Amino acid sequence: MAKNKRAKGTGTIYQRASDGMWVASLELPSEPGKRRRKVIVRAKKGDVVAALRDARKELERTGDLPAAQPTLGVWLDLWLQRSAAKRLKVSTVPSYQSKIETCLKPSIGRIRLDKLTPAHVERMHEYVMVTRGLSSTSALGAHRILAKALTDAVREGRISRNVATLVDAPKKAAVTIPALDGPEARAMLLAQREDEEAAAKWGTALLTGIRQGERLGLMPDYIDLDRKVLTVAWQLKRLRWDHGCAKAPTDGVWPCGRKRGGNCPERHVTIPQDQEARHVDGGLWLLRPKSRAGWREVPICEPLAAILRAYFQTRDPQPGQLIFTRPDGRPIDPKDDSAAWDAALAAAGLPDVTEHSARHTCATLLLEVGVPEAIRIKILGHSSATVTAGYTKVADALTQDAMRQLGELVMPKP
């Protein structure tokens, strides 16, 4: 075995007797109880010398190198924990984690990061849409996450190219989301007229178009019935608890012995420093709206103002308290709120549509009464007209009335 000696810390090069391959070994920063080396194998000595030289330069630049290229699955976990989570809204991280666990890891998670090819990306698309039977929108979401993760891998010098950019992303599926029309929205509110709280909840949903979390996060501080406006400043969200006993499990087992982060004695929710959040109860948190456009004033039509006045006569929430709560004053879990919406629809004999469809109903009715697009964007808190268009179901006949006629459309005067 031939061996070239070098200065300490600059790496060693030798030729393996077993197969004649040239091997370079470079010492890396050690971890507690573990010595780390970067091993490079090439067929020619000149190639391994050049690779070692490049590795030394990268080590001097970054302070560390991966001892071996990780699989895509390992990289995605590291990327989400270390990089992506710092740039994402805390409420968005679980959806990224879900796409990684259900779409990316099962299909191509075992492929080494530096061995990924465009064919692997296409395999992932096929797995999502054919094997799993999910929509092209789900495949598009997974593709975008993969592209972001590989962009960061290129930036860190782990790979030389982003193969996700070499493959056409799936197109978003065209989906028509059912929503209540004007008469159905009126029937919904009339069915709740004996229940002030239900009338206030569903009236606010249908006649303002605010999101479920924004409605559940409303406080009296942000409702002005004299001016007839409400301000969207918070949204109630359920966040996932992470393990606090360690950064990662050892051989799939966490030090606390619990599988779920929510059961860890040292559980915590990671909130980026640039994101404002307030813990309310259990896994429920108040978060600021997901975008600047989300923080907005929404006009209150007179029928809704009357509904809210009646509700506040039966309940007098104090500043800083939530307007809509459980009987014991605790916040309403979004799942329970959705179940209450389904029950209200059934009681009124209306079609079974999702609670989010109330937002679509409002968008459609705003278009019907002729509210200009720019105003609809501000009311719904969208960042662009493209998004608002996706929330609009065009009616056969459109009227060109003012915004104030929205209430009369749903709740006409006697």
For the chain, the structural domain boundaries read 3-62, 72-166, 182-238+291-410
CATH number of 72-166: 1.10.150.130
CATH code for the structural domain at 182-238+291-410 = 1.10.443.10
> Is the predicted pLDDT of residue 246 greater than 80, yes or no?
yes
Residue at 61: amino acid letter: R
Query: Of the segments 25-29, 136-140, 176-180, which one has the largest average pLDDT value?
Result: 136-140
pTM: 0.66
Mean pLDDT calculated for residue range 314-332: 89
CA atoms within 13 A on the CB side of 156: 19
List phi, psi (to 5°) of 21.
-70, 145
Within this chain, domains 72-166 and 182-238+291-410 share the same CATH topology: no
Q: What is the mean pLDDT of the chain?
A: 81
pLDDT band at 66 (very low <50, low <70, confident <90, very high): low
Distance CA 99, CA 88 (A): 15
pLDDT of 301 > 90? The answer is no
Q: What percent of the chain has pLDDT over 70?
A: 81
- Position with higher pLDDT, 91 vs 185: 185
Question: What confidence tier does 57 reach under pLDDT thresholds 50, 70, 90?
Answer: confident
Percent of the chain with pLDDT over 90: 29
Helix 196-208 / helix 182-191 crossing angle, nearest 10 deg = 160
Average pLDDT for residues 53-76, to the nearest whole number? 80
| Dist CA 164 CA 345 (whole Å) | 43
Is the alpha carbon torsion for 321, 324, 329, 335 positive or negative? negative
Give, as one character, the DSSP assignment of residue 261: G
Beta bridge partners of 287: 235, 277
Residue 102 reports pLDDT greater than 90: yes
- Pick the residue with more confidence: 146 or 290? 146
